[in-house]
Amino acid sequence: MKPPLRPLLQPRRLPAALCALAGAALPGATCNHSVDVCVYGATPAGITAAIAAQEEGASVLLVEPGRWVGGMFGAGIKITQDCPEPRAIGGLTKARVFSFARKKPPETPAGLRANFKKWLADERIPVVYERRVVSAEKSGGALVSARFEGSPPDALGVPPPQTTPDDADVVFAKVFIDASYEGDLMKLAGVSYAIGREAASTYGEKPAGVNPAASLGREAVAGQAGSSMATDNWAPIDPCIVPGDPSSGLLPHVEADHGKPPGSADDYTQAYNFRFYVTSDPARRADFGKPADYDPAQYELAGRFVEYLKATCKGRELGARLEWIFPGWRNREDYNYHRRSLVTIAPLGVSRFYQDGDWATRSAIWQQHIDYLAGLRYFLMTDPRTPPRYREKITALGLDKTIYPDTQGWPQQLYVRIARRMSGRYVVTHKDVLNQTSPEDGIGLALYGVDTYPARRHAATRNGRPGVVTEGNMFLGGAKGTSVPYPIPYRAITPVRDECANLLVPVCFSASYIAYASARMEPVFSVLGESAGVAAAISIREKKPVQDIDVPALQARLRERGQILEWRHERP
């Protein structure tokens, strides 16, 4: 990567006290900041955006609502995990972020957080921690300032339901970059966005909408993507609280089918979960605990599913299927949602309320994920239907507190796979994923299959038999994607000009639900963050709205920095 240009702008220095605390938390007193670029969210995208903007001559302030940096790279996702074709990645992501996978501390969440924090300190990027955006002021179609109030997480890392107004920072900036997973600054700026799943007809996307696996058939789904994993996990488990009595209501964690036809839109979105580590070593082990309001009836579905597995699986297969429930799918030492299990580590159907919810709602959902996982383990440990050998195994397991020492072993970031998606000047769709488009304003490449985890679990009768099914799971094309790396256009990270003239959105960028499920990978976010940081500096230098900058000049500068904007190789 070529070194940065000499400063395009004369950075306006922050107060000496702030510069001295670069990479460390600021005091809690309310204060104002005036900078060229304000970046919200110390995710990988936010970090590369802030560093790139500063390298290009802008003064920068990075505001993080939590206490930690690195986003999901610091909460279980490995640096190169979601990048099956490293030749598609360049710039700071390839030169610096990927190097963290080879550095010490090792590529554990704790090690990655330490490396990101050191990088910010080395670059003297000032960071304000524990501040959540609560309001934004606009004038003439552009953001003037944003107010960030205190948002200290609790002992388990759960964000607070309310901010503390007495601990506030107001930031005045020429350009703002929303690099958060939720897109709150984007919303407060008055930018349009989408949530949930579009209908198949909206963008002409065959996999879109409700129940694509069932509506298309497995062969059709696989045929458009190379390889596929589209399963619905139906099992003949009575969904009623009193078996055989519909008037008793449905079991907890089972919904009634909303009845929308295949391909229809709805407000559901794929499940969230934690990427957690377990250990049986007493020196490292932290107890999962038991929810204060634990009620075994809340996990009756798991009990009936265990009975079903015992009746249909034997030996090692039974042991493996039970572990799919808890602790889940073992990835690279961490555990993830096992998408092929009817019951697993995530409560289905609640992410739909998180994506556009207020923080009281989100905080409750975050805590619900903790309580559900702890309660599920406790239920499986104590329910007499659980096989003894499996019960003994999971009883010995606890959270590994060395991985997340600040939060009693719980990851400090919920895996928010998708929330809001900006409705920008260009909507990335499945046609882009399939390389059926040729946008000329690409600022980075994406490469992954259409990867959606189940969105809901509902009662479903098949061949006259009552049962329970999950819906929304797809992995079209596998990790290698559907064809070759495809560009994310600059227009996809910029709002419509009339809505906001000085905001860039590299994480909640403009895409359909299906396309976002392919491009939503942390290396891609990191690439787009750097491109957003460079674009912000050019916007300020040219004194133009972000929508009106010289895009060829932006692309030329990105290439000089080592970004990969076009795929020039054979198919992966």
Q: What is the pLDDT of residue 529?
A: 98
The structure tokens listed for 139 are 């004038």
Mean pLDDT score across all residues of the chain: 91
Average pLDDT over residues 479-496: 92
Q: What is the pLDDT of residue 29?
A: 46
Element (H, E) at 215: helix 212-216
- pLDDT tier for residue 6 given thresholds of 50, 70 and 90: very low
Q: What is the pLDDT of residue 16?
A: 38
Q: What is the pLDDT of residue 21?
A: 39
Tens of pLDDT, residues 323-357: 999 999 998 899 999 999 999 999 999 999 999 99
Q: What is the pLDDT of residue 332?
A: 84
Determine the 3-state secondary structure of 350 from DSSP.
coil
Count of alpha carbons within 13 Å of 224, Cβ hemisphere only?
Answer: 22
Q: Minimum mean pLDDT among 108-117, 176-185, 224-233, 487-496: which range?
A: 224-233
The domain limits of the chain are 16-192+484-560, 205-270+448-482, 278-407
Query: Which 3-state string (H, E, C) describes 418-451?
Result: CCCEECCCCCECHHHHCCCCCCCCEEEEECCCEE
The structure tokens listed for 195 are 């949530």
**What is the share, in percent, of the chain residues with pLDDT greater than 70?**
90
Asked if 324 contacts 338 with a C-beta cutoff of 8 angstroms, the reply is: yes
**What is the share, in percent, of the chain residues with pLDDT greater than 90?**
84
Determine the 3-state secondary structure of 86 from DSSP.
helix
Higher pLDDT, 6 or 412: 412
**CA 407/CA 401 separation, integer angstroms:** 8
Neighbours of 154 (CB within 10 A): 12
Determine the 3-state secondary structure of 204 from DSSP.
coil
Tens of pLDDT, residues 31-74: 899 999 999 999 999 999 999 999 999 999 999 999 999 999 99
Q: Which burial class, exposed, middle or buried, applies to 543 when counting CB atoms under 10 A from its CB (0-12, 13-18, 19+)?
A: exposed
- Rounded to the nearest 10 degrees, the angle between the axes of helix 359-382 and helix 388-395 is 130
Q: What is the pLDDT of residue 212?
A: 60
**CA 447/CA 308 separation, integer angstroms:** 38
- pLDDT tier for residue 106 given thresholds of 50, 70 and 90: low
**CA 354/CA 360 separation, integer angstroms:** 10
- Reported CATH class of domain 16-192+484-560: alpha beta
Residue 320 scores a pLDDT above 60: yes
Asked if 96 contacts 147 with a C-beta cutoff of 8 angstroms, the reply is: no
Higher pLDDT, 368 or 9: 368
Which residues does residue 34 pair with via DSSP β-bridges, in sequence order?
172
Neighbours of 326 (CB within 10 A): 24
Tens of pLDDT, residues 219-233: 333 334 444 455 689
